[in-house]
Chain A
Amino acid sequence: MDDFLVFDGISKSFGNLKVLENVSLSIEKGSIFSILGPSGCGKTTLLRICAGFETPDTGRVILNGKDITLDRPNKRRVNTVFQNYSLFPHMSVRENIAFGLQMSGFEKKRITSEVDKYLELIQMSDQADKKTTKLSGGQMQRVAIARALINKPQILLLDEPLAALDLKLRQRMLVELDWIHDEVGITFLYVTHDQGEAMSISDYIAIMNRGKIEQHGTPAQVYEAPTNSFVAAFIGDTNFFETEITAIEGSYCRLNITDFDDNIIVYNDKNFHMKSRVYLSIRPEKFVISFDEPEHHNKLNRVRGTVEEIIYMGTHTTYWVRVGDYRIQVRQSHDRFLLDQRIIERGNDVFISWHADNCYILDRYDEKDESLLTLPDDDLTVPPENVLSEEK
């Protein structure tokens, strides 16, 4: 992996507030790299350090082998698509896009032909002379991208570029962004709090929380093999169980969860020791839900429960299954839906089962982690139960 953009031990504080703590990342040339995290995790500050609007307290930013930590923003071959686009309101679309080239002192003819090229790229040639204040959100977005890209930056920074758009437009712009990336081949550094956006567009994702990188890797790596419970909870939905390791069986181990009859078997990829307090995380789609007891198998976990709530989504159905104190989210896709099969309904007793390789155990994150345990549960519990009681 050639390290095109490198953050080397970046720390930054604003007053007493530590925003970034020793962040190191390296980003491959030509990739789309996402920094994903909840608001206030420091991702925007990291981006602003890369653009040159902030100077880190410690650490270096290296772009293409050159230390740019102290370069002024206008001296870096880095351009930004701002969250609110920051288009110049007193200029037309054409003038906005031409701005960067004018600043670099290109001759007029060259600028005009370049701007025409980029207007074509964003399919807005017919709107070139409109004031940017007259554009729709999606159009402003495209102008902002063209205005940044025309300078042929070595790296394009995108700060929550789709946050201001509605859902449908967001999905379309995401496809368009991906297409533009393929077209120009420039490295994208994409900051977002929306895991769906990050998953779908990125080659690599770094997940940040409280000024630190929790994990980075491909979207599949962070989804299927999160290194800690924060990442597991932040990327996608999951069910958490707090538990203790009771037995080690080779590369597998057994856990005891109070409300479950059997011990749970799980792949112990992180080599936890006996008696370790850990979290067990199981993604909703890894479960199989059935009326009949699944055949016994030494790597298969089975639990009996009662269906409390069903949300039918067409492509899949989400079930909430009560097992003792736990409310477990189960997602069943309908790739084999048979009309004559017995439909699982609210109140039915069911079996849920999952393979030992389809779940993982994670270290306790820290004291605040407790809130994660209730993540799929409490917010959703209240309204359905109210509905139930009204029916009675």
Chain B
Amino acid sequence: MINRLKQRIPELLISLPTMAWLTALFVIPTAIIIIIAFKTGDPYGGIGKEWTLENFPELLNPVYRAIIVRTVVLSILTTVICLMLGVPAGYCLARSEKRTRDMLLLLIIVPFWINFLIRIFAWKVVLHPEGFVKNFLLLIGIADENTLLLYRPGTVLLVMVYTYIPFAVLPIYAAAERFDFSLLDAAQDLGAGWFSSFTRVFLPGIRQGIVTAILVVFIPALGSYVIPDIVGGPGGEMIGNKIAQKTFIDRNLPQASVLSSMLIFAVMAPMMLSLFMRRKKNHERGMMIG
């Protein structure tokens, strides 16, 4: 036992800076938020001395239910759409020639050079009631004068997909690049059509990339705040907006903390699950070798 501990000392030393970083910037702030959730507020927007559970029943308020449902539905839809676009994109990237591929990758990265806020505001211009998209839709008769393109849940979804799609494409592309495409030949040789060779062989082959894509899209999507704030309007509000409202407008930190804690657990749950599954799999593998 002591020997094993000794063996792990170098390992621990190496991970020490990371641990310190995570503790200072992640564990402690999270703990503070969770602690505040159990505190009473004071009339000046600060935190009282007493402990309480009074903050939690507030979650049952019907106002929140609609927002929570909307947040989850929008995040799931964002993730699904990002995957549906990201998988074919990753496939095409991995199969294209190196020069085209580098060009396409650059095109995916380029928007990151522009500030995130500016890009969101750009959507406001694009979807403006007097904007060219609206005019075009009017011209071909899909929209009428009163159709609103901005300030609705659909707009939030559109901009979220736009924002998160590179985060879906890149891990999927990374996995697809390592995929052995001769396996698709093999599948077709064995009688699989295009669709079944894609679903039975390609998708399982890039499984790891898809899992990563889900995590890096779904989790930030749940916590979205800027996007619904700018293009959402009252009908597109998400949980992030409520937290901001509780913090900055209502000055009710305990209430904001309750919402934040809930979000943190909602985010941690899928991550923990994925981590657990992976560990279980590794464990099984270890057993096999042993």
Look across to chain A and name the residue whose beta carbon is closest to the beta carbon of B196.
Answer: A103
Q: How far, in angstroms, from A88 to B183 measured CA to CA in the complex?
A: 7
Q: How far, in angstroms, from A51 to B182 measured CA to CA in the complex?
A: 13
Q: Does A223 contact B (CB under 8 A)?
A: no
Name the interface size band of chain B: 10 to 19
B193 proximity list for chain A (CB < 8 A): 74, 103
**Contacts of B172-227 to chain A: CB distance below 8 A:** 180, 182-183, 185-193, 196, 200-201, 204-205, 207
Question: Assuming the A-B contacts A90-B204, A90-B207, are A103 and B186 also in contact, with contact meaning beta carbons closer than 8 angstroms in the complex?
Answer: no
Flag if B189 contacts A79 (CB, 8 Å): yes
B183 proximity list for chain A (CB < 8 A): 86, 88-89
B196 proximity list for chain A (CB < 8 A): 103
The answer, among A51, A84, A89, A104, for a CB contact under 8 Å with B191, is: A104
Contact with B along A81-99 (1 / 0, CB 8 A): 0101011111000000001
The answer, among A73, A84, A88, A90, for a CB contact under 8 Å with B188, is: A73
Contact with B along A341-370 (1 / 0, CB 8 A): 000000000000000000000000000000
B204 proximity list for chain A (CB < 8 A): 88, 90
Contact with B along A1-39 (1 / 0, CB 8 A): 000000000000000000000000000000000000000
B185 proximity list for chain A (CB < 8 A): 51, 53, 73, 80, 82, 86
Flag if A100 contacts B191 (CB, 8 Å): yes
Q: How far, in angstroms, from A100 to B197 measured CA to CA in the complex?
A: 11
Look across to chain A and name the residue whose beta carbon is closest to the beta carbon of B190.
Answer: A100
Contact with A along B212-245 (1 / 0, CB 8 A): 0000000000000000000000000000000000
Main secondary structure of the interface of B (DSSP, over half): helix
Flag if B189 contacts A88 (CB, 8 Å): no
Q: How far, in angstroms, from A100 to B196 measured CA to CA in the complex?
A: 11
The answer, among B180, B192, B205, for a CB contact under 8 Å with A74, is: B192
Q: How far, in angstroms, from A84 to B181 measured CA to CA in the complex?
A: 12
Q: How far, in angstroms, from A99 to B201 measured CA to CA in the complex?
A: 10
Q: How far, in angstroms, from A84 to B196 measured CA to CA in the complex?
A: 22
Q: How far is the CB of B67 from chain A (nearest CB, A)?
A: 40
The answer, among B182, B187, B288, for a CB contact under 8 Å with A99, is: B187
Q: Does A147 contact B (CB under 8 A)?
A: yes
Flag if B186 contacts A82 (CB, 8 Å): yes
Flag if A103 contacts B191 (CB, 8 Å): yes
B207 proximity list for chain A (CB < 8 A): 90
Q: Does A270 contact B (CB under 8 A)?
A: no
Q: How far is the CB of A373 from chain B (nearest CB, A)?
A: 39
Question: Assuming the A-B contacts A74-B193, A103-B196, are A86 and B188 also in contact, with contact meaning beta carbons closer than 8 angstroms in the complex?
Answer: no
Q: Which A-B residue pairs are the 8 nearest by beta carbons?
A: A103-B191, A86-B186, A100-B190, A73-B188, A90-B204, A103-B192, A74-B191, A80-B189
Given contacts A86-B186, A88-B183, A88-B186, 11 further A-B contacts (CB under 8 A): A52-B188, A79-B189, A82-B185, A88-B187, A88-B201, A90-B207, A103-B190, A103-B193, A104-B191, A134-B288, A147-B190
